[in-house]
Amino acid sequence: MSVDVNPGTDFLAEQVSVSHSPIRFVVDFVKSTPRIDPSSQTTRLISSHDVVMMDPYLVKEFLSVLSDNIGKYEKKFGRIEKPEALKKFEKEAKKMGKKTVKQDYFG
């Protein structure tokens, strides 16, 4: 038997949101890039999405594999921590009275 594999394209996600229904989880990877509109010289933000839908069992297995790989990564390269720039941004937002709320997405 011959199998053809389409390797797809690389996609660098800057945000990810997760939602679910009774039968599936939806993982939406988002990339945003600024573009300059040549006609008006204004900046536009272009948002691209790659969506993955998975059944609940597969999501649970994926979480297990991801957790295992994070452990191996941290053992080899050190603890994964929030970037300093993001910590600074959150600290400044807090000073201005803006709450950072845990949401169903990160990025």
What's residue 63's pLDDT? 96
Contact assessment for residue 29 and residue 105, using Cβ atoms and an 8 Å cutoff: no
Count of beta carbons in the 10 Å neighbourhood of residue 61:
12
Give me the sign of the Cα torsion angle 76, 87, 107, 105. positive
What's residue 99's pLDDT? 64
What's residue 105's pLDDT? 46
pLDDT in tens, 17-54: 999 999 999 999 999 888 888 888 888 888 999 999 99
Instruction: Provide φ and ψ at 96, rounded to 5°.
Output: -85, 5
Who has greater pLDDT, 61 or 41? 61
